[in-house]
Structure formats: C-alpha cells, structure tokens
A and B are shown apart, each in its own frame.
Chain A
Amino acid sequence: DIRMTQSPASLSASLGETVNIECLASEDIYSDLAWYQQKPGKSPQLLIYNANSLQNGVPSRFSGSGSGTQYSLKINSLQSEDVATYFCQQYNNYPLTFGSGTKLEIK
C-alpha cells in the first residue's frame, strides 16, 4: 500500500497568513493526488485534484503543487472559515489511501 505521510498534524495561524500543508507519498504517485477540507460535523469537500487543479467553486486562495512523491496544499490569506481538517488522498494505485489529516486553527 502507498503510505501518505501528512504534516503537520496540527497548525495554528493568524488571519491573513499563508499556510502550507505537506503530503509525502511512499512512492511516486504521478500527481494522482487530491486535497479535501472537512469542517466539524460536515462531510469532506474536494479542494484540489490532480495535484494542482482547483475544484469548481473553491476559492482561489487554495492551491496545490508537487510531483513525484512530494505534494503541498497552500492556503493564502487565511480566513476564519478555513478552520477545518485537511487531508490528502492518492489515487494512483489500489488501495486508495489518505493522509492522516492536518487540523488548522486560527490563533
């Protein structure tokens, strides 16, 4: 199975700041990577697919990058509504696997 190592596990940042969340795959996943946002009590929402494609309706302050085994999610100009848990998912190989999540809080 492809292991997705996500960091950090938690993150506290101020409004307006830029934050980065990383996912490291245990092998090359050829940009078959998605990022999701899950707010408390809600179902996950797709933010990014194919490592860097923004899902329709997602604010442009979210962006994804990376290739090979290393990927990142960047959130510019942090807003209060961005408080959530973020996780990555690889879909290059079975079984599909997920990162362990990053809990983002506002300072």
Chain B
Amino acid sequence: EVQLQQSGPELRRPGSSVKLSCKASGYSITDYLMHWVKHRPEHGLEWIGWIDPEDGETKYAQKFQSKATLTADTSSNTAYMQLSSLTSEDTATYFCARSYGYTYYFDYWGQGVMVTVSS
C-alpha cells in the first residue's frame, strides 16, 4: 500500500528555518516525482515545486525559488523540503504528493504537516 508519511507539526521563530520530511512506503521514490504543496485556508492551495529523486532534478514555482529547497534521500525513501527565512506568511499546512513521470497530477498525498511561525 502506497503511503506518504509526513513529519509532525512544527513551531518556529521568524527568521529561522525548518526541514520537513515525507517518507514513502509501498513504492520506490525514484519511480515518481515528489511535489510539495502549501495550503492556507484564505489563500487556497499553492504548488511549491517538485523533485525527481532519481537524479535530484528540481523545478520550483518562481515565488518559492528562494524560499524552499527540495531534496531526497533514496536510501531512506524520503523526500525533504527546507523552508528558510521563515515569516508569518509561511504559516500553513504543507503536503507532499507524488506524480508519475511528467504527468503532474497527484495520485497520492501525504497527510500534511502544520508549520506555525510565531515569535
């Protein structure tokens, strides 16, 4: 059974960074792209970018280019997203989600992780 298990909720101070994890089971992460999506109730869903864990290739939405860094560890079948220089605008739920090849719809999603940025 395919599962994407995300790490637990995070509370961070403004200006700090956070690294979120997304551990895949039931398949090899090298067979799919891994995407990250941001959700804030008042702003809806925003696509952040994807990583191809097979070769580390990444693609980012322009607005997240300097905010997010996507990496993957094939030995642990886990994808990561680091968010830097956190502000209150980064308070959101973040999802990982996979897509097959270069068809960019998501057949499995993680459960989401809440990141709260507050002083």
Chain A, 81-105, contact with B by CB distance < 8 Å: what is the 0/1 string?
Answer: 0000001010100111111110000
Chain B contributes a number of interface residues (CB within 8 A of A) equal to 21
Closest to B111 in A: A43
Contact with A along B47-75 (1 / 0, CB 8 A): 10000000000010111000000000000
Residue A34 interfacial (CB < 8 Å): yes
How many chain A residues touch B (CB < 8 A): the figure is 21
> Which of B9-17, B23-31, B102-110 faces chain A?
B102-110
**A95-B62 in contact (CB<8A):** yes
Which among B46, B63, B105, B110 is the interface contact of A34 at CB below 8 angstroms?
B105
In whole angstroms, what is the CA distance A30 to B15 when docked? 41
| Distance (whole angstroms) from the CB of B102 to the closest CB of chain A | 9
Task: List the B side residues contacting A95 at CB < 8 Å.
Answer: 46-47, 61-63
Q: In whole angstroms, how far apart are the Cα atoms of A100 and B44 in the complex?
A: 6
Expressed in whole angstroms, the Cα–Cα distance for A99 and B44 within the complex equals 8
Cβ of A46 within 8 Å of any chain B Cβ, yes or no, is: yes
Report the minimal beta-carbon distance from B37 to chain A, rounded to whole angstroms: 8
Specify the main secondary structure of chain A where it touches its partner.
loop
Contact B106–A46 (Cβ < 8 Å): yes
Contacts of B63 in A (CB 8 A): 95
The residue that B103 contacts in the complex, of A36, A45, A87, A91, with Cβ under 8 A, is A91
State the Cβ distance, B35 to closest chain A Cβ, in Å: 8
| CB of A49 closer than 8 Å to a CB of B | yes
Assess whether B104 is in contact with A96, with CB atoms less than 8 Å apart: yes
Question: Given known contacts A43-B95, A43-B111, A43-B112, is B47 in contact with A97 (CB within 8 Å)?
Answer: yes
Task: Pick 20 A–B contacts, CB within 8 A, sort by A.
Answer: A32-B104, A34-B106, A36-B106, A43-B95, A44-B95, A45-B109, A46-B107, A49-B103, A49-B105, A87-B44, A89-B45, A89-B105, A89-B106, A91-B105, A94-B59, A95-B47, A95-B62, A96-B47, A101-B44, A101-B45
Residues of B that sit less than 8 Å from A by CB: 35, 44-47, 59, 61-63, 95, 97, 103-112
Q: Which residues of A contact B (CB under 8 A)?
A: 32, 34, 36, 42-46, 49, 55, 87, 89, 91, 94-101
